[in-house]
Structure 1
Amino acid sequence: MKEYTLTTSELKNAAEYLEAGDTVYLSGTVYTSRDAAHKRIMKLIEDGKTLPYGIDGAVIYYAGPTPTPEGLAIGSCGPTTSSRMDVYAPKLLDMGLTAMVGKGPRSAEVIDAIVRNRALYFCAIGGAGALASKCISDCEVIAFEDLGCESVKKLTFRDFPLTLAIDARGNSLFK
């Protein structure tokens, strides 16, 4: 297991050498999305409408940050259980999604889509959302504001600590 400091734009190429169990300190643009936002994004895709951000090359963080305290970039921002998004993930991966960040195992269908698309699945530490928020320097709601904490937010990660749970070859820490 190795440690890397990478940007989101480097992940697609890094997928060739990263291995399950590696630690990555990730910087760059990441989008939050949970159940309700995923459902709306899929509806936009089905209807051929414009998405709130480009899926190709994107990184999604399965998180619903708490309200932002005054003077901070974001409130507590820990991961949510990724398996709830398994019904949506294969389609998004086939559209070019580079990586997902969450917690817990993924379905066989998601792992197959990860391998097929040379993508990555990272886990963040559950229960450490307040600490994780210190690695986020900017937060902007970009879609579905009516969903509150589940709105889609554009985040800027700064050396956000992650563990690669499923690599581009399908190797998994959960097996």
Structure 2
Amino acid sequence: MLDRLEKGEGLPDYAKKHIIYYAGPAKTPEGYASGSFGPTTAGRMDAYVDRFMQEGGSYISLAKGNRSKDVTRACKKYGGFYLGSIGGPAAILAKNCIKKVEVLDNEEDGMEAVWKIEVENFPAFIVVDDKGEDFFQEWLG
């Protein structure tokens, strides 16, 4: 998506209208909507969050782990949220919560493609809110 911004193309609508879930899919077993599709650690994306929010996208992200102060500041500045989920039970989450999966963009990138997933009762909790409050910082001190 950074490539698009550098070319002056702006962010795609899916980055502006939907939650960004940092995750990687596994092979889908027969009879299931998805294989294991667990959250990945979001820290490697922290450098891009402010820019994406500035461009009107990525206001809500979902992954696992804590985020940097840059993300906390961006959430406060632009009204964003970071939601956390649990990585360990990814196969169970996929089986019980993911109802539909399809490639939306960049199919040639394999696991790094942009996926559209429909979920139901997917467990997540607010880690960083739109006021810059960070659950991990408050809990860990």
TM range (shorter): 0.7 to 0.9
Q: CA deviation at 1:48?
A: 2.6
Q: Which residue is equivalent to 2:75?
A: 114
Alignment partner of 1:172 is 2:134: yes
User: Cα gap change, 1:110/1:156 in structure 2, threshold over 3 Å: closer, same or farther?
Assistant: same
Give the share of equivalent positions with the same residue, in percent. Answer: 38
Q: CA deviation at 1:64?
A: 0.8
Question: Which of 53, 70, 81 is the matching residue for 1:93?
Answer: 53
Question: Which of 129, 139, 142 is the matching residue for 2:101?
Answer: 139
**Higher relative CO (CA 8 A, sep ≥ 6), structure 1 or 2?**
1
CA-to-aligned-CA distance 1:44-94 (integer Å, 9 cap, x gap):
121133755433232100001112112211110111011011111111122
Q: CA deviation at 1:155?
A: 0.8
Alignment partner of 1:158 is 2:120: yes
- Unaligned runs of 5+ residues in structure 2 are none
Q: Which residue is equivalent to 2:36?
A: 76
What is the TM-score normalised by the length of structure 2? 0.88
Question: Which structure has more helix as a fraction of its residues?
Answer: 2
Matched AA of 1:113: A
- Following TM superposition, the consecutive aligned residue runs of length 4 or more in structure 1 with deviations greater than 6 angstroms are none
Q: Which residue is equivalent to 1:127?
A: 88
- Unaligned runs of 5+ residues in structure 1 are 1-40
Aligned mates of 1:150, 1:59 — CA distance in 2? 16
Aligned mates of 1:48, 1:67 — CA distance in 2? 35
Question: Which of 72, 91, 103 is the matching residue for 2:64?
Answer: 103
Q: How many residues align?
A: 135
- Contact kept, 8 Å, 1:99 with 1:121, in 2: the verdict is yes
What is the TM-score normalised by the length of structure 1? 0.72
Aligned mates of 1:135, 1:174 — CA distance in 2? 25
RMSD between superposed Cα atoms in Å: 1.5
Matched AA of 1:101: L
Aligned mates of 1:143, 1:54 — CA distance in 2? 10
- Contact kept, 8 Å, 1:55 with 1:95, in 2: the verdict is no
Q: Which residue is equivalent to 1:31?
A: none
